[in-house]
Amino acid sequence: GIQVEQSPPDLILQEGANSTLRCNFSDSVNNLQWFHQNPWGQLINLFYIPSGTKQNGRLSATTVATERYSLLYISSSQTTDSGVYFCAVGGKLIFGQGTELSVKP
């Protein structure tokens, strides 16, 4: 089956800093999504991005399907950005292990 690897596993930032999260996947896919799981456990869909680049406020994502990776950019981080960021791929949504982000005030 498809393997999904995310890096880094943990990230601590000072408020206002920028960060890049990476997702590598082992096979071509028609579906790639980024999710944020907040400290209350809710899974929020950030981007549906099987290819190309999208932006939503301070967040943007780029997927290079031919090279099997996706990047999530967080600019001017805020404490509310804390939580776990998941990449998931494929029709059955195979999840990576996530990147746990902590933004300090």
Partner 1 sequence: DAGVIQSPRHEVTEMGQEVTLRCKPISGHNSLFWYRQTMMRGLELLIYFNNNVPIDDSGMPEDRFSAKMPNASFSTLKIQPSEPRDSAVYFCASSLGDELYGYTFGSGTRLTVV
Q: Which is nearer to partner 1, 77 or 86 (CB)?
A: 86
Q: Judged by CB under 8 A, which of 20, 51, 76, 97 binds partner 1?
A: 97
- Asked if 65 interacts with partner 1 (CB under 8 A), we say no
Instruction: Kindly give, in sequence order, each residue whose CB lies less than 8 Å from that of residue 21, ignoring residues fewer than 6 positions away.
Output: 6, 7, 8, 11, 71, 72, 73, 74, 85, 87, 99, 101
Asked whether position 9 contacts partner 1 by CB under 8 A, the answer is no
Cβ closer to partner 1: 83 or 98? 98
Part of the chain binding partner 1 (CB under 8 A), chosen from 52-60, 62-70, 71-79, 89-97: 89-97
Spatial separation of the C-alpha atoms in residues 21 and 99, rounded to whole Å: 7
Length of the chain measured in residues: 105
Task: Please tell me the distance from the alpha carbon of residue 29 to that of residue 48, in angstroms, as a whole number.
Answer: 12
Binding site for partner 1 (CB under 8 A): 30-31, 33, 35, 41-45, 48, 86, 88, 90-98
